[in-house]
Amino acid sequence: MSKTASSTVPATVPLEEQLEWQRAMLEIRFFEEECHRMFARGLVRGSTHLAAGQEAVNVGACRALRPTDLMACTYRGHAAVLAKGAPLDRCFGEILGKAEGLCRGKGGSMHLTDMSVGAIGSFAIIGAHLPIVLGTAYAEVYRGSDGVSLCFFGDGSTNIGAFHESLNLAAIWKLPVVFVCENNLYGEFSPIAHTTPVDELVVRADAYGMPGVRIDGMDIGVVHTTVSEAVARARAGEGPTFIEAMTYRYKGHSRADPGAYRPEGELERWLERDPLILHERALLAQGVEQTVLDEMRATAERTVADALERAMSWADPAPETRLEDVYA
């Protein structure tokens, strides 16, 4: 795609909502940049898996859901959980291990969860959450509600047994699930072609008789439209959809990975189609002033910095609480 490619947002989405997508993507990008710095400065133990570059998939998809719909994601889940509505400061607090973190500082970067916004979990075991999402979707049907469950997972997950069993059962039972594969071309350090015998993962939907679609995951308008259609099908009792969103992670797999295995020029080519740039162009084309967008960027940066400052000031969990919330 050329540099001039711009987002294709359907005319039915009000401009105010499209501006809100940009605000959300900006905050997530600044959040991920702060996380990168926090880990580099040794403020956090363990590792982290940044989703910078993949914001259009997470925000576009989550904005197609109701607040009461449920969402599960992977360890690369900061963006998904924030997109579903979790507060910035409590997400920072969780990563920093603070008592006011989303999971009281006991989950950390890979396990962000906020039931109050329908973010039912970030899962570190590849594919483990797909059967869990079948359970939440089945529960909605059982209760007679029209709630939908959306599941994000990576391209690597489509080689795991649980993925195939889950798509099969979801199709047979016509469960209200939207499967969103974030195809960022790599599973850890392996290019997808080294681990996967099909070029397009979307063909795997055919094996389970469910609609599948491969989309440009850098274009938030395309993501939102596609996921909205899938959500409508699920709500109407017409069953699951598989969406393969083509995207890219700008950083390596995790904190320890500089991503040196990537061919020269690949990152730069994806950066040219950064979701924030594409959507900014779409907003400008609809008459939004550049100054409004510049102000939005500055505000988002300040909002994220303030949230981090708050989270840093919070106390660590008291030692005597260490066994609380560990077992249900």
Ligand X SMILES: Cc1ncc(C[n+]2csc(CCOP(=O)(O)OP(=O)(O)O)c2C)c(N)n1
155 lies in the binding site for ligand X (CB under 6 A): yes
Q: Which of 60, 105, 118, 187 binds ligand X (CB under 6 A)?
A: 187
155 lies in the binding site for Mg ion (CB under 5 A): yes
Q: Which of 184, 225, 228, 247 binds ligand X (CB under 6 A)?
A: 184
Would you say 53 and 249 are in contact if contact means Cβ atoms under 8 Å apart? yes
Q: Which of 15, 40, 188, 237 binds ligand X (CB under 6 A)?
A: 188
Can you list the alpha helix ranges (DSSP code H) found in 84-238? 88-95, 129-143, 161-172, 192-195, 203-206, 220-235
200 lies in the binding site for ligand X (CB under 6 A): no
Nearer to ligand X, 15 or 125 (CB): 125
Q: How far apart are CA 220 and CA 22, in angstroms?
A: 9
- Structure token digits, residue 183: 């195809």
193 lies in the binding site for ligand X (CB under 6 A): no
Which of the listed partners (ligand X, Mg ion, none) does 48 bind, with a CB threshold of 5 to 8 Å by partner kind?
none
For Cα atoms 60, 66, 70, give the angle at the middle one, nearest 5 degrees. Answer: 90
Closest CA relative to residue 56, chosen from 46, 47, 48, 64: 64
196 lies in the binding site for ligand X (CB under 6 A): no
Per-residue DSSP letters for 233-293?
Answer: HHHTT---EEEEEE---SS-SSTT---TTSPTTHHHHHHTT-HHHHHHHHHHHTT--HHHH
Q: Give burial (CB, 10 Å; 0-12/13-18/19+) of 318.
A: exposed
For Mg ion, the binding residues in 182-221 under the rule CB under 5 A are: 184, 187
Which of the listed partners (Mg ion, ligand X, none) does 27 bind, with a CB threshold of 5 to 8 Å by partner kind?
none
Would you say 188 and 157 are in contact if contact means Cβ atoms under 8 Å apart? no
Q: Which of 186, 242, 250, 314 binds ligand X (CB under 6 A)?
A: 186
239 lies in the binding site for ligand X (CB under 6 A): no
158 lies in the binding site for Mg ion (CB under 5 A): no
Give the rounded distance of the alpha carbon of 247 from its chain centre. Answer: 11
For ligand X, the binding residues in 109-148 under the rule CB under 6 A are: 124-126
Task: Candidates 129-137, 180-188, 209-217, 235-243: pick the segment binding ligand X (CB under 6 A).
Answer: 180-188
108 lies in the binding site for ligand X (CB under 6 A): no
Binding site for Mg ion (CB under 5 A): 154-155, 184, 187
Binding site for ligand X (CB under 6 A): 74, 76, 124-126, 154-157, 182, 184, 186-188, 253
